[in-house]
A and B are shown apart, each in its own frame.
Chain A
Amino acid sequence: DVKVTQSSRYLVKRTGEKVFLECVQDMDHENMFWYRQDPGLGLRLIYFSYDVKMKEKGDIPEGYSVSREKKERFSLILESASTNQTSMYLCASTDRSTIYFGEGSWLTVV
């Protein structure tokens, strides 16, 4: 079974803090994604990566950056967390036929 693991399930951070969300996949997939899920808005793409050290902006990249130093690991970084970044964050990877999601990281910024 494909496994996409998000190590932090629930986080509470203060405004202005730097936040790292980590994601690891175990299937040697080239493409990985970070989505944000909010009620009524569905899932919106923040960034995606199609190879190590390669990244592309999604639909809502403002306030976020990413890092992909190894093929299996894709990190989302909030440089200076703000309250409007309180959300659930979903990491995903794909073998080009199916996208597999992690279980999500719930981030609350206070």
Chain B
Amino acid sequence: QQQVKQSPQSLIVQKGGISIINCAYENTAFDYFPWYQQFPGKGPALLIAIRPDVSEKKEGRFTISFNKSAKQFSLHIMDSQPGDSATYFCAASRWAAGNKLTFGGGTRVLVKP
């Protein structure tokens, strides 16, 4: 039973294009929604995170959009670059629960030059 569902599983985008990854969650108690980026052979690293009191957060070319009523959130990578090629994971947690994250299944993004 996967509490956080992520799509698509893989994505190919041209350099300069927009990459969009979507996640849906079930547990309404979740109150922290981070995105992690993982390069081959490395552990995941925090990319950007959002709390449900805002609907959007932007850091550079990365934007999280959050829809609390639909229990969905998404990552947009603007002006995608070959260096963005990586696996991206969405996650969710209850802040009070010691930050135990529940992860989505991951999206492998390939940015073609």
Q: Which residues of chain A come closer than 8 Å to B100, judged between CB atoms?
A: 33, 45, 48, 58
Query: B98 to A102, Cβ gap below 8 A?
Result: no
Residue ID in chain A nearest B43 by CB atoms: A101
Which of A12-20, A35-43, A67-75, A76-84 lies on the face that meets chain B?
A35-43
List, in ascending order, chain B residues with CB within 8 A of A87's CB: none
Interface size of A by Cβ–Cβ distance < 8 Å? 25
Closest to B34 in A: A99
What is the interface size of chain B, counting residues whose CB is below 8 A from a CB of the partner? 23
Find residues 58-105 in chain B having any chain A CB closer than 8 Å to their own CB.
89, 91, 98-105
* Beta-carbon contact of B104 and A102 below 8 Å: no
Interface SS of A by simple majority: strand
Residue in contact with B41 in the complex, picked from A59, A98, A103, CB distance below 8 Å:
A103
Chain B, interface SS category: loop
Inter-chain contact B43/A45, CB cutoff 8 Å: no
A25 interface residue, CB < 8 Å from B?
A: no
Residues 55-110 of A at the B interface (beta carbon under 8 Å):
58-59, 90, 92, 94, 96, 98-99, 101-104
- Interface: A21 (CB within 8 A): no
For A24, the chain B residues whose CB sits under 8 A away are none
Q: Is the CB of B6 within 8 A of A103?
A: no
B98 touches A48 (CB 8 A): yes
Interface residues of B (CB under 8 A from A): 2, 4, 6, 9, 34, 36, 41-46, 89, 91, 98-106
